[in-house]
Amino acid sequence: MGQIIWIASYPKSGNTWTRAFLHNLFRDPKLSFNINEMTLLTANEAAASNFAEFDSRPWEEWSLEDVARIRPQVQAALAGSRLHTIFCKTHLAVLKVRDHPTINLNVTAGAVYLVRNPLDVAISYANHQGLPLDRLIELMNLPNYETPNMEGLVNEPMGSWSQHVQTWTANPNPGLLVMRYEDMLASPVKAFSDLAKFLQLDAPRSRIERAVKNSSFKVLRKQEELHGFHEKTAAQENFFRSGKAGEWKDVLSEEQVAAICNAHRDQMARFGYLPEGF
């Protein structure tokens, strides 16, 4: 039986980029790997189809208790679908919800956790959800926040941004690699070389450089323009919207910056995200 390596993040923190890199690294295509075929190597844990295997009723009839109860079985089945390991995307925080764990540690081999400045996350996530910035900031600041069940995706207990970061990163261990989105932008070859090393992949630098190039924001954005992207929401004009760091300085008001920093001061300080004055 295989095990899961989690590609974990709060939404809009580099999860899709990382999965695109892994596909390009493993498949090593001459041209960029098709972003709409990323389930060939990585699974989305929250896909409703995974849960339908254990509850044949229409998804509208599933309660949050049903999802929480089934989740460990779903993860065990995902692990068992491969002989060795499977990469799974998740936005879950590591919690116990309705007396059930969100992450089944019995089938977990390790995790790659992606963290991004919440000041930038707020802008990107608001665009993704089609919500006003102030409302999105309220959700980011809300302890024990959970997304609802919806068509195609089940409920995900994410907690607040700080809660999410803390539950994944508070206890460093050899099975966990934490990657800052900003470092991935500044030095992608180094950041993704560190990822390859963590995964114990003996990939030559030329192959890593090619995978980095084929999963760059520019290339992924071009793919989306030509072929669309199934992870784009109805609220978005483009899934690959900006791909920058520091956009918050030109977009967020002083009040919005304060609302985020005051709610997440400790975790922001840990990762070098607190602006001067906070």
Residue 276 vs residue 62, higher pLDDT: 62
Strand, helix or coil at 167? helix
Residue 236 vs residue 252, higher pLDDT: 252
Which H/E stretch holds residue 180? strand 176-180
Looking at residue 119, what is its pLDDT?
98
- Domains and their CATH numbers in the chain: 3-270 (3.40.50.300)
pLDDT in tens, 47-91: 999 999 999 999 999 999 999 999 999 999 999 998 889 999 999
CA separation for the pair 1, 195 (Å, rounded): 24
CA separation for the pair 235, 10 (Å, rounded): 19
Looking at residue 232, what is its pLDDT?
46
pLDDT in tens, 85-98: 999 999 999 999 99
Q: Which residues contact 147 (CB under 8 A, 6 or more apart)?
A: 91, 153, 155, 156, 158
Q: What value does the mean pLDDT of the chain take?
A: 90
Which range, of 6-20, 96-110, 187-201, 203-217, averages the lowest pLDDT?
203-217
Looking at residue 60, what is its pLDDT?
95
Looking at residue 101, what is its pLDDT?
98
Exposure string for 179-203, b = 16+ CB within 10 A, e = fewer: bbbbebbeebeebbbebbebbeeeb
pLDDT in tens, 123-147: 989 987 889 999 999 999 999 999 9
Which range, of 9-13, 15-19, 179-183, 231-235, averages the lowest pLDDT?
231-235
Which range, of 20-24, 108-112, 186-190, 234-238, averages the lowest pLDDT?
234-238
Looking at residue 104, what is its pLDDT?
98
Q: Which residues contact 86 (CB under 8 A, 6 or more apart)?
A: 2, 3, 4, 5, 42, 43, 78, 79
Tell me: pLDDT of 234 over 70: no
**pTM as predicted:** 0.91
Looking at residue 235, what is its pLDDT?
52
Tell me: pLDDT of 225 over 80: no
